[in-house]
Chains A and B, each alone.
Chain A
């Protein structure tokens, strides 16, 4: 079983709608979480990080972290066709390793 699991595998939302992506870790050592976004034909690009419980908002993007349940989510408000991409959740441990563990991704399609 992967240490970082994402759901759903794919998601379609209408333009202007809300997209919600989920990520759960199975390792309590993971304390730092990232969302990366990858457009087709490009490398992943960091979207936002969240290291503390609660919400973190950056423009139309809001991440939510619950460390007790090892669950992190990403909500995209007013989704745009340019948001169509593969979204990765990544987790890192609080000590000892420089390694990020990536989930398998959620493919988001925003329909015009």
Chain B
């Protein structure tokens, strides 16, 4: 089974603070994704990438930057955190070639609280 790890698992910051969420996958998957999960909204895609150096915009990108430094590593950056960004964040990865027909493998999540 594909392995996706996230760090930190919990983070508390203040409004206006800088936050970096990290994700690593060790299965050589081409695609990586950042989602946020909020009650009543399910999972919403923030950014995704299909390889090192590539970045695609998802449905809710405002206030977020992302960077894919290697095949394995995908980072989500909140440069001026706001309370509306308090959420549960998930990273996921999927293999190449079949798009939405590919299984996405999710990490354990990072719970972010912005005070």
**Chain A interface residues toward B at CB < 8 A:** 2, 4, 32, 36, 41-46, 49, 51, 88, 90, 92-93, 97-100, 102-105
Contact = CB atoms under 8 A, between A and B. Distances in A.
B106 A44 contact: yes
A28 to B, nearest CB: 15
A62 B49 CA distance: 32
Nearest to A88: B42
Contacts of B42: 2, 4, 88, 102-105
10 contacts: A32-B101, A42-B108, A46-B103, A46-B105, A98-B100, A99-B48, A102-B35, A102-B43, A104-B40, A104-B41
Contacts of B90: 43-44
Interface of B: 4, 31, 35, 40-45, 48, 50, 56, 58-59, 90, 92, 99-101, 103-109
Contacts of B92: 43
A2 to B, nearest CB: 8
A58 to B, nearest CB: 13
B101 A99 contact: no
- Shortest 5 CB-CB contacts between residues of A and residues of B: A92-B100, A43-B106, A102-B43, A102-B42, A104-B42
B58 A99 contact: yes
A45 B107 CA distance: 9
B31 to A, nearest CB: 6
Nearest to A4: B42
A41 to B, nearest CB: 8
B101 A92 contact: yes
Nearest to A42: B108
A37 to B, nearest CB: 11
A44 B45 CA distance: 14
Contacts of A105: 42
A4 B35 CA distance: 16
A98 B50 contact: yes
Contact of A43 (B41, B100, B107): B107
Contacts of B41: 2, 104
